Structure 1
Amino acid sequence: MTDPSGTGSNRARSSESPVRARDVAPAGGVAVVEMFTSQGCNSCPPAEEVLTEIERDARKRGQPVFALGFHVDYWDYLGWPDRFADAAYTARQQAYARAFGSGQLYTPQMVVNGTVEFVGSDRRRAATAIASALTGVAAAPLALSVEDAAGATGGGHRVMVDYQTERPPERAVLNVAIVERGLVSDVARGENAGRTLRQDNVVRAFTSVGLDAERGRVELEVPPDLDPRQASVVGYVQNDGDKAIVGAAAIDVSAESG
């Protein structure tokens, strides 16, 4: 199936091997798994299941693996506007396409630590990329704390995230996302018409800031329907040039927001 943007192809494939990075010694490595997806794409639900498995397995094993589902907006023209889609997430995928030298967009696309990309439903590739990432060393360790603050415009609220890192590279950026688990959508139109989709690790708010100092605060405005009991803050330090991710951390919103 072809990506409706005309910029690439939907190359969905699948594998039956489990999504696990087995027997990885704690060596300070992290794995940030970004997936570009859409409710309008019928090849995306299997990849979203993979992303859910990745996050659940990492939580169970206590591994520093962080899953984020970025919903792009270029499938919306089929008649189903993805309620989680944002043009900024499409722009983020475009930036990766330029960095990879492909110039192509497709869904579902998975990117691990900003440097390895493949079809998001490929369990074997995901397991291999995550295992490789965990054997490395995070060059810029990161710590986060979070504070919930009411009163944002539009009925939402603000989440304040304090960060502390070490040795960030020049021209590094700090990406901060709020992801939510257990979201259910009844899709009425588009390629998934008639399906009920359950999605995890959906990015509900996102920002990138230049790392001018080793500590600071980031403020995000989140939608009013966010359930803090099912939400986490994920932060990751990324080189602005080659897009390599060199540090990451996460904290549950409910851990401090109550």
Structure 2
Amino acid sequence: MIAVTGVSGHLGRLVVEALLAKANAANIIALVRNPDSVADLAARGVTVRKADYDDPQSYIDALDGVDKLLLVSSSAVGQRAAQHKNVIDAAKTNGVKLVAYTSILRADTSPIMLAAEHKETEAMLAASGLHHVILRNGWYSENYTENLAPVLEHKAVIGHAGEGRVAAASRADYAAAAAAVLLSDDDQSGKIYELAGDTDFSLADYAAKVAKAAGKEINYVDMPQQAYAEALTGAGVPEGFANVLADADAALRAGWLSDDSKTLSTLIQRPTTPIDDSIKAALA
């Protein structure tokens, strides 16, 4: 039995879809706060169980009989380590044979603010005694393509990335990798996968690609880190998260979001989705 957390979210849902393409639905468990949100998966034969990151008992109950677990990192930045501990403790209580965790690229050394809770979770897994595998996901293409409306409106991509390059891939690519690891007959315990897109690009490259696809003149506007954070706040992004995003661009600028190992495409046995394709899909 394979269980996936956070299935009402983007990545968790895509992992279940990837599993369904290769495994029997009767062997898949979708874990969500609100089971009604994935009623369609239940209709397809997936077992749906209520599980809340903030409710330890719910996970102790939900992981009963689970052999392999994908812990999709929580989206609650600042609260994730405590939430992940609840899941890890429940996995240990239930004797889960393998826990896979979606971390961040080079979490052990990355200076990016977002890496701290991932590094803490990796340490908790190491201390737990559970067999585990780490999926260190790079940037999602959707981090950019889901926010095209203001880009098209203002004819500009703004950021603090300079000429730094990011090796992004689609969420579906990372989901396929997670499914491949969960379904593998090989011993995955102790493995760490640094996952990223095959081809990196700068934000100036990205702006040019959007311009070409949209048939508009769109430029990249590089800004000081604080000015970029303030621009995000002015656009309605909460101040704390605006600072996180500006910090991420600083890491991009310094090369922390690029990777040329092609580990992701090797794992999924196909090239990763080009950013051009993600842009076209978003515009469509």
TM-score for the superposition, normalised by structure 2? 0.29
Structure in which a larger fraction of residues adopt helix: 2
Q: TM-score, normalised by structure 1?
A: 0.31
Q: Which has the larger radius of gyration?
A: 2
Higher strand share: 1
